[in-house]
C-alpha cells in the first residue's frame, strides 16, 4: 500500500509519522455517487419523455392521464421496498446494499427501451422506485461513514449534485433522441457504477457493528492510505460501542426523546422539501414550459432550469457552512414561497383573465420565476435534507429512521406529482 510519511524529532529520537491521504475517500465517494446520477436521470425521465410518448400515437397510443402515472409509480415502489433495503444496509453492509441499486436501474431501463404498452412502462417505473429506496437507505450512510470530517465537508454534497446533473443529462438526451435510444445511453451509467464501485471498501463503521475489527482496520488502511490506523480505529470503535449499547427497537424510536426529535426533524425536512414543489417541477419540467409558452423552447428551458439546479447546488455546498444550515433552510423556505406565489398569479391571470389581461408582454415570468425558485431552493431546501439524512440518527436506530423518512419521502413525491396533474387537468 502506498503511504506518505513525515519524520518528527522527539527529544533525541526521530519518530516517523504516517500522513493520511484523502484521494481514496474522494474516489470511493465519487464512484458510489454514480448511482445517484442514474437515479437523477430516472427521476426526471418523465420530463422529456411524457410529451413524446403522448404525441406518438403510432408507437405508443398513450393518453396524458395514463402517462401521468409514470411520475406516481416510482415513489410507490420506493415505499414498498423501503423496509427491505434499510434492513439490508445493516445486515449485508452499506457497500453491498448500494451495489444492489444497479439491478432495478438496469431492469427499468431495459423495460423502457423495449416498451410499447403503457403497462410495461408502469412496471419499469415501479421498479425504478426500488432503486430510489435502496439509494437513500445506503448512499448517505456510506458516505458519512467512510469519510473524515474534512472530506465529508467538501464532498458530502456530491450525491445531491449528481442527482441534479442526472436530471440535466436526461433532459438533454431525452430531448434529442428517441425513447429507446435514451434508455440505451442511460444504461451505461449503472453498468459503470457496478463495475467500478465493486472494488471499493466497505464502511469500517459497519464492520465494527458486526464485531469484525480486523476487517475494519483493513478498510481504514485503504481509506486513509496508511498502515497505522490504531488511533482512528480505537476512536471509531468507542463511538460504535456507545451507539450500539443504546436500545434500538421500534418502541425506542418514538419513546426516547432524542430519537423522537430526530424523527420529527427528518419528517419536517423531507415534508417541507417536497411540499415546496420540486418533484413536480423535476418530472414535468418540459410540460410546464410547453404550457407557459414564451420565446424559448420547452426543451431548452428545461435544460437551462436543470442546469441551474446543478450549478447552484454546487455553489450551495461550498457556502452552506458559512451561512449556517438552519438560517439557509428557513430563508430558502420563505423566498421559494414568495416566488411560487408570483408564478401562481401569472398562470391564474393567463388561464382565467387572458382576454382582459395581456400577460404575453411578460411571458418571460415563468422561466424567470423558475430560475429564481431554483436559486433559493438550492441554498436550503435542496441541500440540507439530503446532507442530514446520514447524520440524524444514532447507529442503533439508523435503519428504522431511514425507513420512516423514505416512506414519508415516497408518499409526498407521489401526492405532489399526482396533485399537480389533477390541478392542471381540472383547473389549468
pLDDT per position as a tens digit, 135-185: 988 898 899 889 887 887 778 778 888 998 999 899 899 989 999 999 999
Any idea what the Cα angle at residue 72 is, between residues 71 and 75, rounded to 5°? 105
Q: Is residue 287 domain-resident?
A: yes
Taking each helix axis as running N to C, give the angle between helix 158-176 and helix 118-146, from 0 to 180 degrees, rounded to the nearest 10.
Answer: 150
In the three-class reduction of DSSP (H, G, I as helix; E, B as strand; rest coil), residue 286 is classed as helix
**Mean pLDDT value across residues 238-256:** 78
The number of residues making up the chain comes to 428
Please report the pLDDT score of residue 14 as a whole number: 53
What the block records as the C-alpha cell of 137 is: 437507505
- Identify whether 178 is part of a domain: yes
In this prediction, residue 3 has a pLDDT band, given cuts at 50, 70 and 90, of: very low
Domain for residue 45, yes or no?
A: yes
Query: Is residue 213 a part of any domain in this protein?
Result: no
Domain at 418, CATH number = 1.20.1250.20
User: Does residue 208 form part of some domain?
Assistant: no
Instruction: Supply 110's cell numbers.
Output: 431495459
Q: What is the pLDDT of residue 2?
A: 39
- The DSSP secondary structure of 124-164, one letter per residue, reads HHHHHHHHHHHHHHHHHHHHHHHS-HHHHHHHTTHHHHHHH
In a domain? residue 234? no
Q: Name the domain count of the chain.
A: 1
Residues 6+ positions from 351 with CB-CB distance below 8 Å: 427, 428
Q: pLDDT tens for residues 311-363?
A: 887 787 777 777 788 888 889 999 999 998 988 888 888 777 766 777 777 77
Domain membership of residue 326 as a residue range: 20-200+247-393+397-427
* Residue 296 covered by a domain: yes
Q: In this predicted model, what pLDDT tens digit does every residue of 380-392 receive, in sequence order?
A: 888 888 777 767 8
Q: What is the pTM of this model?
A: 0.82
229 falls within a domain: no
Read off the pLDDT of each residue in 87-113 and give the average, rounded to a whole number: 93
Query: Is there a contact between 24 and 223 (Cβ–Cβ < 8 Å)?
Result: yes
Amino acid at each position: 500500500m502506498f503511504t506518505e510519511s513525515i519524520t518528527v524529532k522527539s527529544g533525541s529520537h526521530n519518530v516517523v509519522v504516517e500522513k493520511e491521504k484523502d484521494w481514496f475517500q474522494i474516489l470511493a465517494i465519487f464512484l458510489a455517487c454514480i448511482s445517484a446520477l442514474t437515479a437523477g436521470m430516472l427521476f426526471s425521465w418523465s420530463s422529456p419523455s411524457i410529451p413524446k410518448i403522448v404525441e406518438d400515437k403510432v408507437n405508443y397510443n398513450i393518453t396524458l392521464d395514463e402517462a401521468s402515472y409514470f411520475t406516481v409509480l416510482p415513489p410507490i415502489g420506493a415505499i414498498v421496498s423501503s423496509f427491505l433495503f434499510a434492513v439490508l444496509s445493516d445486515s449485508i453492509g452499506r457497500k453491498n446494499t448500494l451495489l444492489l441499486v444497479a439491478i432495478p436501474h438496469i431492469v427499468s431501463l431495459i423495460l423502457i427501451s423495449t416498451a410499447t404498452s403503457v403497462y410495461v412502462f408502469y412496471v419499469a417505473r415501479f421498479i425504478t422506485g426500488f432503486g430510489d429506496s435502496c439509494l437513500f437507505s445506503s448512499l448517505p450512510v456510506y458516505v458519512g461513514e467512510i469519510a473524515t470530517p474534512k472530506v465529508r465537508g467538501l464532498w458530502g454534497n456530491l450525491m445531491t449534485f449528481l442527482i441534479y446533473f442526472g436530471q440535466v443529462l436526461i433532459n438533454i438526451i431525452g430531448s434529442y433522441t428517441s425513447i429507446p435510444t435514451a434508455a440505451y445511453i442511460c444504461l451505461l451509467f449503472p453498468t459503470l457504477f457496478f463495475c467500478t464501485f465493486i472494488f471499493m471498501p466497505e464502511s469500517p463503521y459497519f464492520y465494527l457493528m458486526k464485531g469484525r475489527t480486523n476487517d475494519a482496520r483493513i478498510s481504514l488502511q485503504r481509506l486513509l492510505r496508511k498502515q497505522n490506523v490504531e488511533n482512528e480505529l480505537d476512536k471509531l470503535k468507542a463511538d460504535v460501542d456507545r451507539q450500539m449499547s443504546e436500545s434500538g427497537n421500534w418502541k425506542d424510536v418514538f419513546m426516547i426523546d432524542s430519537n423522537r426529535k430526530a424523527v420529527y426533524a427528518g419528517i419536517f425536512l423531507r415534508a417541507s422539501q417536497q411540499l415546496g414543489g420540486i418533484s413536480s417541477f423535476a418530472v414535468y419540467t418540459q410540460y410546464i414550459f410547453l404550457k407557459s409558452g414564451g420565446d424559448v423552447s420547452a426543451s431548452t428551458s428545461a435544460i437551462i432550469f436543470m442546469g441551474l439546479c446543478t450549478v447552484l447546488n454546487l455553489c450551495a455546498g461550498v457556502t452552506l457552512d458559512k451561512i449556517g444550515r438552519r438560517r439557509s433552510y428557513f430563508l430558502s423556505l420563505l423566498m421559494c414561497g414568495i416566488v411560487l406565489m408570483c408564478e401562481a398569479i401569472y398562470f391564474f391571470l393567463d388561464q382565467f383573465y387572458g382576454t382582459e389581461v395581456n400577460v404575453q408582454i411578460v411571458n418571460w415570468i415563468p422561466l424567470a420565476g423558475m430560475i429564481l425558485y431554483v436559486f433559493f431552493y438550492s441554498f436550503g431546501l435542496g441541500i440540507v435534507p439530503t446532507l442530514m439524512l446520514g447524520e440524524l440518527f444514532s447507529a442503533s436506530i439508523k435503519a428504522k429512521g431511514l425507513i420512516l423518512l423514505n416512506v414519508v419521502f415516497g408518499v409526498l413525491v407521489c401526492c405532489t406529482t399526482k396533485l399537480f396533474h389533477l390541478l392542471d387537468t381540472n383547473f389549468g
